[in-house]
Structure 1
Amino acid sequence: MSAPHIVAIGGTLRPESSTGRLLGAALSLAEARGARTTLLTGPAIAFPHYEPGAAEGHEEIARFLEALRTADGVIVGSPGYHGTLSGLVKTMLDYVEQLRGDARPYLDGRPVGLIATAGGWQAAVSTLQALRTVVHALRGWPTPMGLAINTAEPDDCVDAARPQMQLMVDQMFDFIDR
């Protein structure tokens, strides 16, 4: 089997957002296990509001959809805004609808690691649950380990999350290797 392709999507429009840094760190762990990786965050996922057929002619959306088509596993990260995922991430996930007619529709048969960040535990945990709900609706398989990260804690969120992140990535590989 060739090296698995892991795609990390989400984050914010800020270049050094906590969510984007965590997605990058998770991909580094996947690369250490031999994966090919793709990170799509910030402007690469700043799509117009979803409308069926609206993807026509949008290079960024086409690149996003092609990355998902070739993905063996996906990591989705979202900041928690008012207790749920951000509009940027929700709109991006709405475009997964364009994969409905594929041989492997939506996120079907793929492990999906989840990372939710927020300036407090309540919003981080509720955002993680919202991400699980959306991934289930898209036929993905959320890993048992999902990360709810309180960015208001004084520790560096990437270093503090590394043990849980490693477990999440390991669970993705366990699923892929089945």
Structure 2
Amino acid sequence: MKVTLIAGSNRANATSTNLLKYMETLLKADRVSVSFIDLSELPLPLFTPDNWDFHPNVRHMLGAIADGDGLILATPEYHGSISGALKNALDYVQADQVAGKPVLSVSSAGGPLGVSSLTHLQTIVRNLHGINCPEWISIGYGSGGLGPDGAPLDEGVRERVLSAVNRFVETTRKLTAAAAAANG
């Protein structure tokens, strides 16, 4: 099984990216192959539907999404929505690259929670025909912060992240097995 993670901040050392890196360690510990796309290190040109001859960074990201069995998207919450960097990246994605794949949404916010960004992200996933996981993760100032490895310092938040990742992996494995059985 392979999962693609996209860190949707273009800020170095972003909280959402650090949390996603911690989630990457959880996935690898569960023997899940991971492709990590960090939009702060892989800048993408501004999407325009007038140009379908994509930049190599865009092709790399789209290939990782197409190759993944599942997708985890992380974003900071800016003005009640997802980051412009992640929105731009998702504008390049076609529905057939995400259709039927489970997607876990992750957000970090300057306030208590990033629920608005998660709601917007799940709307985009629905429009790409992805399967929104019933779990989502939102951390904010009240969550106790992150350690140097990106792990939440608050035990309850850390357990919530672990539970969400485990349910995402379980869902992805079941859907991957069902798709393989249906395809013979």
TM-score between the two structures when normalised by the length of structure 1: 0.86
1:113 maps to 104
Aligned partners of 1:29 and 1:43: how far apart in 2? Answer: 22
Counterpart contact for 1:106–1:139, Cα < 8 Å: no
2:168 maps to 172
The number of residue pairs the alignment matches comes to 167
Secondary structure of the 1:106 match is: helix
Structure 2 regions of 5+ residues with no counterpart? Answer: 175-184
Secondary structure of the 2:28 match is: helix
Letter in 2 for 1:125: V
Q: Give a deviation string over 1:9-68, Cα, whole Å, max 9, x none.
A: 033222211011011111111111111111111334422221125352511101001101
Counterpart contact for 2:118–2:136, Cα < 8 Å: yes
Structure 1 regions of 5+ residues with no counterpart? Answer: none
The answer to whether structure 1 residue 33 and structure 2 residue 33 are counterparts is no
Instruction: Work out which of the residue numbers 132, 137, 159 in structure 1 matches 2:127.
Output: 137
Aligned partners of 2:51 and 2:163: how far apart in 1? Answer: 37
Match runs of 1:125-164 below 5 Å: 125-150=115-140, 152-153=141-142, 155-157=144-146, 158-159=151-152, 160=154, 161-164=157-160
Summarize the Cα distance change of 1:44–1:129 in structure 2 as closer, same or farther, 3 Å threshold.
same
2:75 maps to 78
Aligned partners of 2:80 and 2:107: how far apart in 1? Answer: 10
Summarize the Cα distance change of 1:21–1:55 in structure 2 as closer, same or farther, 3 Å threshold.
farther
Letter in 1 for 2:134: P
Q: Give a deviation string over 1:109-131, Cα, whole Å, max 9, x none.
A: 11111101110135x11111111
Instruction: Work out which of the residue numbers 55, 58, 62 in structure 2 matches 1:58.
Output: 55
Following superposition, the deviation at residue 176 of structure 1 comes to 2.2
Summarize the Cα distance change of 1:154–1:78 in structure 2 as closer, same or farther, 3 Å threshold.
closer
Secondary structure of the 2:34 match is: strand
Aligned partners of 1:166 and 1:55: how far apart in 2? Answer: 38
Summarize the Cα distance change of 1:171–1:48 in structure 2 as closer, same or farther, 3 Å threshold.
same
1:8 maps to 5
- Which stretch shifts more, 152-161 or 64-73? 152-161
The answer to whether structure 1 residue 95 and structure 2 residue 92 are counterparts is yes
TM-score between the two structures when normalised by the length of structure 2: 0.83
Letter in 2 for 1:135: V
CA RMSD of aligned residues (A): 1.7
Aligned partners of 1:120 and 1:58: how far apart in 2? Answer: 35
Secondary structure of the 2:159 match is: helix
